[in-house]
Copies of this chain bind each other. A is one copy, B any other.
Amino acid sequence: MSATPAYAELTRIYTRLYRFQHLGSIVGWDRNAMMPPKGNAARAAAEAELHALIHRTRTAPELKTLIAAAEAEPLDDIARANLREIRRDWRDANALPERLVEEKTLAGAKCEHAWRSQRAANDWEGFLENFRPVVKLAREEAQLLADDSGLSRYDALMDRFEPGVRASDVDRIFAEVRQWLPALIDDARKKQAQDSITLPRGPFPVVAQRALNREVMALLGFDFEAGRLDESAHPFSGGVPEDVRLTTRYSEDDFARSLLGTIHETGHARYEQNLPREWLGQPLGTARSYGLHESQSLSCEMQLARSRPFVGLLVPLLKKHFGDQPAFDADNLYRLWTRVKPGFIRVDADEVTYPAHVILRYEIERPLVEGEIEPEDIPALWAEKMQSLLGLDTRGNFKDGCLQDVHWSDGSFGYFPCYTLGAMYAAQWFAVIRRATPDFDARIAAGDLSPVFDWQREFVWSQGCRWTTPELVQRASGEALNPAHFRSHLERRYLRK
């Protein structure tokens, strides 16, 4: 008999959960990428049955006893880290009463469903009606999670996405960015004002785009023996670490959106494909956080793909798949893909203005969750912050303003900071990698991406959930998250003559 019977039993239960989740991931991918419309009702019923099973497994009363018993057992560091993650998962699943989970799901689904047409109709008042209960329930949720964890309410929500990162950290970092970002945007735009850009001319046949995307994924190290690229209306990265399923969407007018989107998803995929094999099946073997995941997608899309050396690598592939044209000049494409232009819409934003969109949302959702502001205060705050951060007037334009994102409609508060934390982690990784690789740009230009991926493998991918996010950042880069690296990256790319 094992010296750690409770811990051993926990790992068996979590292995079973991992396998149930595998089934859920694959049928979920299928629903989005393959399923014909009339399959929907039966699929929804089957998925609900599976989710109920997973929920029952995660909330079985014996788990509480087992976790307490395991914590008293003699465990090595690895097992102890896994047990910490098991406790996190258990807390996530058990902190909220069934009643609240159901009310949240219903209110979120109702609000999100109506939002789809209300957004198009610019109907803020209509949205508000469904949104108030969502906020009320999110506050209740945050309070319960806070009581349970000892964190503040917003911290408790954010901890589900970015473990160990606190609003006080985000406040400090975003306040700092707010100091220099508007001026940096202005300077970049002034510097770019005289640039002449030739736009690529389509059509770009879907078959050629598909082949191009696959070739670029291979260049970025995606393992096609352990994953696929398919198509779906809303591109996503799904599947399981052993079999990663990416999707994209094609428009024959524009190859770049699908290509850059696929590069972004490939960053997520490489993290999943390279999680530590020996821990797979346990919480310890999963990706650390949403912010770190975003650091991987943005390492590929922003740090690599929109760099001048990498654009140089892409040009021959574009010519191979689409034939030559004047726009396929590396300097021209680089100018096009690093163009800075403040706009209303977050998902269309460039690398430099994107953080402004995130800071704005964070500065609204945090006081909203904490009860310092009310849902009806949002439009005025939005307008004021868009003006101060990006110099844009969005008054009355809810559609392209506070109604543009899906996140709030279903109550996913605490997620937005991950996008910009991810961009900052990525910049910090590349600062370390560049320091260790004096000929970095030359190696990328020569198609040798190993300085990037060898480092990610050692310090991020292989670590799974061994550390909290701040611990991982410290171990990987020798310092805490430091937005100065992000600033230097932007200055190097956007301001250097």
Which A positions have Cβ atoms within 8 angstroms of B? 16, 19-20, 22-23, 26-27, 30, 34-39, 41-43, 45-46, 48-50, 53, 223-228, 240-243, 280
Contacts and interface: CB of A to CB of B under 8 A. Distances in A.
10 nearest interchain CB pairs? A39-B243, A38-B226, A42-B242, A22-B46, A19-B49, A19-B46, A38-B225, A26-B27, A23-B23, A39-B242
Contacts of A39: 226, 240, 242-243
A237 to B, nearest CB: 15
Nearest to A30: B26
A68 to B, nearest CB: 26
29 contacts: A16-B49, A19-B46, A19-B50, A20-B46, A20-B50, A22-B45, A22-B46, A23-B23, A23-B27, A23-B50, A26-B30, A26-B43, A27-B27, A30-B30, A34-B34, A35-B243, A36-B224, A36-B227, A36-B228, A37-B225, A38-B225, A38-B242, A38-B243, A39-B240, A39-B242, A41-B242, A42-B240, A42-B242, A43-B242
A357 B204 CA distance: 53
Q: Which of A27, A34, A46 has the most CB of B within 10 A?
A: A46
B242 A34 contact: no
Contacts of A41: 242
A242 B228 CA distance: 25
A20 B228 CA distance: 25
A53 B16 CA distance: 10
Contacts of A38: 223, 225-226, 242-243
A64 B218 CA distance: 55
A19 to B, nearest CB: 4
A49 B16 CA distance: 7
A23 B38 CA distance: 16
A36 B225 contact: yes
Contacts of A42: 22, 240-243, 280
Given A35-B243, A39-B243, 4 more contacts: A34-B34, A34-B228, A36-B226, A42-B280
Contact of A20 (B26, B43, B49): B49
Contacts of A224: 36
A224 to B, nearest CB: 6
A223 B39 CA distance: 11
A243 B227 CA distance: 24
Given A26-B30, A30-B26, A19 B36 contact: no
A211 to B, nearest CB: 15
A414 B43 CA distance: 33
Nearest to A24: B23
A238 to B, nearest CB: 12
Contacts of A228: 34, 36
B43 A22 contact: yes
Contacts of A49: 16, 19-20
A218 to B, nearest CB: 13
A35 B48 CA distance: 24
A37 B224 CA distance: 9
Contacts of A26: 26-27, 30, 43, 46
Nearest to A273: B38
A32 to B, nearest CB: 13
A280 to B, nearest CB: 8
Contacts of A48: 19
Nearest to A245: B34
Contacts of A36: 224-228, 243
Q: Quick one: which of A20, A38, A227 has the most chain B CB within 10 A?
A: A38
A29 B20 CA distance: 17
A313 to B, nearest CB: 25
Contact of A19 (B37, B45, B223, B225): B45
A380 to B, nearest CB: 46
Contacts of A20: 46, 49-50
Contacts of A37: 225
Nearest to A33: B34
